[in-house]
Amino acid sequence: MEDTIYLAVAYIGMLTGLAIWTWTVLSRSNNLEARLAAVEASLNNSEE
Amino acid sequence: MGDSGRQIGIVQSLASLMRGWGTLLLMSGFAGAGLTLWLGLLWAPSVSIDAFEAPVAQKIFYWHVPSAWAAMIAFTLLFIGSLAWFFKRREWGWNLHVASAEASLAFGMMAVWSGCIWGAAEWGVPWDWTDVRLNTFALLTLLAIFLVLGRKSQPDGIETRDTFATFGIYGFILVPLTYFATRFWQIRHPGPVIATSEGSLNSDMGMVLAIGAISFTMLVLGHIICGIRLTKMESRLLDIQDTIDKEGI
């Protein structure tokens, strides 16, 4: 039983690590997209 | 609509397609990885208690093997990207190099970490410095650390890209070396159990492992597609900032 708990903790830890990394990539992507859109919008405004 | 307008339209369509596919692969792969762990822990049969010191810990195999497989895919794409940049100066090659280096690092770390957990339970030590497979895979992961941290600490430019692409090309020699290591020099790491006549994998175990391999393949491809998109956006942002600096807008 102790071995199974050890394995389950290892599994959950690894899955959590993977989830955090995946979330970080998606969040970085959304953040960059918003920054890019804002910069492009401000450039268009200054050109007009 | 002029040619440039049409080109921008095509680029935007490709970007949104990449975003959709990348996110879909990431989410499906993540769900599949969770399913693999659940099946591995609760459904897959246990190995014989006579064959292993720690039969329960053997189930970490359902995470370890797919993550090592995904790392190998990432290292192969890193090699292709490095070649495309170094010899053809293709921008997509550099983007692929950057995205694959990050994915190689993440999946390489997962394989090393899960291997250490299993080694500690089965062998009594997390690492064996005399085992060829362990050490060549660790060198590959160290190469990925160097590529990721090195790129972040250097200004972008042709010389920087060439240096890292060279490491991506020469480092690839470790991939076949790692794959064949347990066939030529089996020291401590177990030998192959699939794609070999000596394999003895139970069909249920094989099915869970196959679900894991498919899920981790989707995950690594999803991460690389999202990474390529991120690198493109970073480059675009840098270009705009350069234009603003030069024109003093």
Q: What local confidence, expressed as pLDDT, does residue B72 receive?
A: 94
- Cβ within 8 Å, pair B233-A33: yes
pLDDT truncated to tens, each residue of chain B (249 aa)?
A: 456 566 666 666 666 667 788 888 988 998 998 898 888 888 877 766 666 666 777 788 888 999 999 999 999 999 999 999 999 999 999 999 999 999 999 999 999 998 888 888 778 888 888 888 888 999 999 999 999 999 989 888 899 999 999 999 998 888 888 888 777 777 677 776 666 656 567 788 888 889 999 999 999 999 999 999 999 888 888 888 888 887 765
Backbone angles phi, psi at B126, to 5 degrees: -75, -20
- Its ipTM equals 0.81
Measured distance CA(A16)–CA(B133) in Å, rounded? 27
How far is C-alpha B86 from the chain's CA centre?
21
Distance from CA of B206 to the nearest CA of A (A): 19
Which site among A1, A5, A12, A14 would you substitute to test the B interface, given the most B Cβ atoms closer than 10 Å to its Cβ? A14
State the maximum Cα–Cα separation within chain A, in Å, rounded to a whole number: 70
Distance CA A34, CA A27 (A): 11
Test B26 with A25 for CB contact under 8 angstroms: yes
Set out the domains of chain B in order of their start, with CATH numbers. 22-45+52-247 (1.20.120)
Maximum CA pair distance of chain B?
74
pLDDT at B22: 83
What does the buried/exposed string (b/e) look like for B73-110 if buried means 16 or more CB atoms within 10 Å of the residue's CB? Answer: bbbebbbbbbbbbbeeeeeebbbbbbbbbbbbbbbbbb
Cα separation, B58 vs B27, whole angstroms: 27
